[in-house]
């Protein structure tokens, strides 16, 4: 028979826990926030329970359980390691229809403790009906990862305004529409960003401005304004997305994405969103930057939640700054979610720490993008000792980069690596020296995107390499994955 989930008020009610060991301690911990009067019957207490008794959180009766005792309590928990005692507690409670939980023998009791994700006052309870507490724990961890702590504050805010909203809107459908807009829109976003005061002010203002006319709610003011989420999608592996990125991705109406955002990451966006591909391949800028900026503004001003997904981190060689400058100039609300930049992702997945006490105390990121066919970098700055140089967009200029570094004083036998399509199942890593890397890469029909790492940290890969992608050659050799976009 399926159990019925129920949330019970235990505030000031007498609850009996029989047992003073580990299991009893765990049960008491989950009971404590409920405000129950907890009585513990056990000859001895665990260290933690002794502390709780001292601090007045529980009352201890230092003796064995007395037959019939459970009948004087609203809820009892049998948590001893003696099956006979547990069965006696269960029998006593069941006889007078009191609530009873038996830790090791759930079928003797009539209530089960759920696995809880606690974002008080929001609580999410998970039960497997006693089939697999471990599965319940794993599911709890997954849910907890998706529900930030600030959801508790959001729940509180909804509770605080509940009556006001009820007074303003007579009809349930209107109230539902209002709350859906608030809880999925900019007000909730603001609160989840940590600006509770701002969110409350905005909600009060919205409530004031909302006009009921012929059963229609005029929500055209402020609350329905669109906004832009500039989100770093990381280097490719979708597991490297942040929780915040994932949350904002789930609620996008429009998605603007470029070539570096992997299909696996895109697959996590809503299927009913509008998708706009904005480039960029080196020889084929699908959309000029100014048009991208204008597109963001246009959709946000039309009240849409616009997701601007960028490979890696939007503020590292990503032109994210330019895009939000336009948004700021146009008065469009935006937020920025950092992503794992290619340097971090590729270095980690290649087993190359970018700094290491024995090798490098500094790390420099440069772009190998050619300006009018030439590579213009501060070479003196790049050939410093104990430093790692990471070069983005450097495949085309690889030979020139390495030659110029050597010309400006870097030892020709300095270790160097090129990471191809890092963090994905297509990752390949070529490691050599600055003098030989170009030759090695030239003979391997390498595909972009690629990242170059130069410095003695590269040798650590011999020992620290851990990621073994399951290379799918058919995909790797496909012409569709050609080397034509920005390397
Ligand atoms: C226009 S930049 C964008 C960088 C991005 N904003 C970031 O933080 O990683 C593009 C360059 O990032 C590097 N890159 C991005 N993803 C990569 C990956 N998965 N593997 C290797 N390099 C990558 C390549 O050098 C590529 O040419």
For the chain, the domains span 14-113, 151-218, 227-340, 349-481
Task: Say which DSSP state 360 is in.
Answer: B
| pLDDT mean over 351-379 | 93
Residues 270 and 252: beta-carbon distance below 8 Å? yes
Cα torsion 190, 196, 198, 200: sign: positive
pTM of the model: 0.70
Q: Would you state the pLDDT for residue 479?
A: 32
Ligand 1: centre distance to CA 229 (Å): 20
Supply the pLDDT for residue 487: 42
- pLDDT digit string (tens) for 391-426? 999 999 999 999 999 999 999 999 999 999 999 999
C-alpha span between 186 and 191 (Å, rounded): 9
Position 303 pLDDT exceeds 90: no
- Residues paired with 277 in a beta bridge: 257
* CA gap 374, 255 in Å, rounded: 35
Q: Which of 230, 239, 260, 366 to mutate to test the pocket of ligand 1 (most atoms within 8 A of CB)?
A: 260
The model's confidence at residue 175, banded by pLDDT at 50, 70 and 90, is: confident
Q: Quick one: average pLDDT of 119-136?
A: 91
44-48, 168-172, 320-324, 387-391 — which is least confidently predicted? 168-172
Atom 7 (ligand 1) nearest CA: 312
From the CA of 330, how far away is ligand 1's center (Å)?
29
Q: Residue 321: in which H helix or E strand, if any? A: helix 320-329
Catalytic residue (one of 27, 92, 237, 280): 280
Question: What spatial distance separates the first Cα and last Cα of the chain, rounded to whole Å?
Answer: 60
Question: Selecting from 3.10.310.40, 3.40.1740.10, 3.40.50.720, 3.40.50.150, what CATH number does the domain 14-113 have?
Answer: 3.40.50.720
Is the fold of 151-218 the same as that of 349-481?
no
* pLDDT of res. 1: 74
151-218 topology per CATH: Helicase, Ruva Protein; domain 3 (1.10.8)
Phi and psi torsions of 20, nearest 5°: -130, 20
Least confident of 205-219, 314-328, 374-388: 205-219
Residue with tokens 């570094």: 405
Give the ligand 1 atom nearest the CA of 394. 25
343 CA to middle of ligand 1, Å?
A: 8
Mean pLDDT over the full length of the chain: 90
Range 255-261 average pLDDT: 92
Atom 5 of ligand 1, residue of closest alpha carbon: 312
Is pLDDT of 438 > 70? yes
Q: Is 1 helix (H, G, I), strand (E, B) or coil?
A: coil
Q: What is the pLDDT of residue 172?
A: 83
Give the span between the Cα atoms of 78 and 92, in whole angstroms. 11
Instruction: Say what the pLDDT of residue 471 is.
Output: 57
Model pLDDT for residues 330-340, shown as the tens digit of each residue: 999 899 999 99
Residue spans of beta strands (DSSP E) within 202-304? 211-213, 216-218, 227-232, 254-257, 274-277
Give pLDDT, residue 217. Answer: 46
Closest of 318, 355, 352, 354 to residue 338, by C-alpha: 318
Task: Indicate the DSSP class of residue 83.
Answer: H
**Cβ-based neighbours of 85, under 8 Å, separated by 6 or more:** 18, 64, 65, 78
- pLDDT at residue number 281: 55
Residue 282 has pLDDT above 80, yes or no: no
Q: Which residue has the tokens 């609160």?
A: 191
pLDDT (0 to 100) of residue 480: 33
Q: What percent of the chain has pLDDT over 70?
A: 92
Q: Treating both helix axes as pointing N-terminal to C-terminal, what angle do 172-184 and 151-168 enclose, rounded to 10 degrees?
A: 150
pLDDT band at 166 (very low <50, low <70, confident <90, very high): very high
Q: Is the pLDDT of residue 158 over 80?
A: yes
Query: In angstroms, rounded to a whole number, what is the distance separating the alpha carbons of residues 255 and 268?
Result: 11
CATH number corresponding to 227-340: 3.40.1010.10
Burial of 5 from C-beta contacts in 10 A (0-12 / 13-18 / 19+):
exposed
Among 311, 369, 398, 447, name the best residue to mutate to test ligand 1's pocket (greatest count of ligand atoms within 8 A of Cβ). 311
Point out the catalytic residue in the list 92, 237, 258, 313: 258
Indicate the fold that domain 349-481 takes in CATH: 3.30.950
- Summarize the confidence of residues 342-360 as an average pLDDT: 98
Of the two residues 475 and 294, the one the predictor is more confident about is 294
Query: Each residue of 180-233: pLDDT tens digit?
Result: 889 988 899 889 888 999 999 999 998 887 654 444 444 433 445 688 999 999
Dist. CA 135–CA 128, nearest whole Å: 8
**C-alpha–C-alpha distance, residues 43 and 62, integer Å:** 5
Ligand 1 binding pocket (C-beta < 6 A) is: 235-236, 260, 310-313, 316-318, 341-342, 346, 392-393, 419, 421-423, 449-451, 486-487
Ligand 1 pocket test, pick from 238, 258, 262, 342 with the greatest ligand atom count within 8 Å of Cβ, gives 342
SS3 129: coil
Give the three-state DSSP class for 54. Answer: helix
Residue 285 confidence class, pLDDT cut points 50, 70, 90: low
Which residue would you say has higher pLDDT here, 480 or 383?
Answer: 383
Collapsing DSSP states into helix, strand and coil, what is residue 350?
helix
pLDDT digits (tens, 9 = 90+) for 87-113: 999 999 999 999 999 998 888 999 999
CA-nearest residue, atom 21 of ligand 1? 450
How far, in Å, from the CA of 414 to the mean position of ligand 1? 23
Helix (H) or strand (E) holding 363: strand 362-367
Task: Report CA(352)–ligand 1 centroid distance (Å).
Answer: 17
* DSSP 8-class letter at 235: S
Q: How far is the CA of 240 from the centre of ligand 1 (A)?
A: 14
- pLDDT score, position 225: 66
At residue 486 the predicted structure's pLDDT band, cuts being 50, 70 and 90, is very low
371 is catalytic: no
Structure tokens at 352: 């190359």
Task: Give the percent of the chain with pLDDT over 90.
Answer: 72
Give the angle subtended at the CA of 47 by the CAs of 42 and 48, to the nearest 5°: 95
Residue 118: strand pairing partners: 123
Is 54 assigned a catalytic role? no
pLDDT at res. 279: 82
- For 8-154, strand residue ranges (E) read 14-18, 37-41, 58-61, 75-78, 99-102, 115-119, 122-126
């Amino acid at each position: 028979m399926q159990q019925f989930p129920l949330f019970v008020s235990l505030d000031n009610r007498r609850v009996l826990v029989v047992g003073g060991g580990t299991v009893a301690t765990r049960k008491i911990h989950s009971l404590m926030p409920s405000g129950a009067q907890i009585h513990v019957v056990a000859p001895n207490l665990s260290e933690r329970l002794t502390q709780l008794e001292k601090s007045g959180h529980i009352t201890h009766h230092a003796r064995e359980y007395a037959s019939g005792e459970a009948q004087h309590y609203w809820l009892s928990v049998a948590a001893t390691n003696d099956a006979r005692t547990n069965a006696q507690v269960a029998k006593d409670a069941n006889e007078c229809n009191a609530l009873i939980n038996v830790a090791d023998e759930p079928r003797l009791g009539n209530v089960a403790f759920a696995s809880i994700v606690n974002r008080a006052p929001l609580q999410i309870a998970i039960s497997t009906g006693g089939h697999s507490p471990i599965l319940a724990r794993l599911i709890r961890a997954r849910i907890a990862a998706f529900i930030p702590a600030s959801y508790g504050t959001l729940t509180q805010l909804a509770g605080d305004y509940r009556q006001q909203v009820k007074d303003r809107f007579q009809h349930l459908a209107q109230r539902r529409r209002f709350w859906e807009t608030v809880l999925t829109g900019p007000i909730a976003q603001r609160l989840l960003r940590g600006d509770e005061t701002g969110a409350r002010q905005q909600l009060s203002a919205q409530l004031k401005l909302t006009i009921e006319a012929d059963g229609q709610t005029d929500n055209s003011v402020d609350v329905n304004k669109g906004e832009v989420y500039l989100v770093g999608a990381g280097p490719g592996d979708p597991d490297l997305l942040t929780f915040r990125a994932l949350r904002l991705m789930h609620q996008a109406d429009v998605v603007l994405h470029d070539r570096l955002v992997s299909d696996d990451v895109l697959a996590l966006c809503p299927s009913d969103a509008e998708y706009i591909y904005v480039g960029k391949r080196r020889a084929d800028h699908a959309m000029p930057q100014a048009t991208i900026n204008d597109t963001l503004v246009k959709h946000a001003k039309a009240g849409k939640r616009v997701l601007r997904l960028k490979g890696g981190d939007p503020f590292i060689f990503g032109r994210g700054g330019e895009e939000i400058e336009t948004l700021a100039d146009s008065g469009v609300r935006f937020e920025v979610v950092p992503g794992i930049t290619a340097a971090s992702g590729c270095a980690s997945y290649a087993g190359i720490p970018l700094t290491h006490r024995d090798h490098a105390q500094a790390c420099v990121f440069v772009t190998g993008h050619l300006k009018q066919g030439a590579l213009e970098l501060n070479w003196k700055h790049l050939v410093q000792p104990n430093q790692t140089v990471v070069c983005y967009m450097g495949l085309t200029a690889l030979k020139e980069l390495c030659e110029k570094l050597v010309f400006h004083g870097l030892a020709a036998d300095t270790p160097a690596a090129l990471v191809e399509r890092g963090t994905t199942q297509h990752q390949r890593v070529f490691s050599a020296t600055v003098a030989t890397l170009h030759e090695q890469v030239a003979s391997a029909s390498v595909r972009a995107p690629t990242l170059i790492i130069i410095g003695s940290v590269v040798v650590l890969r011999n020992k620290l390499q851990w990621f073994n992608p399951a290379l799918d050659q058919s995909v790797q050799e496909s012409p569709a994955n050609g080397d034509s976009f920005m390397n």
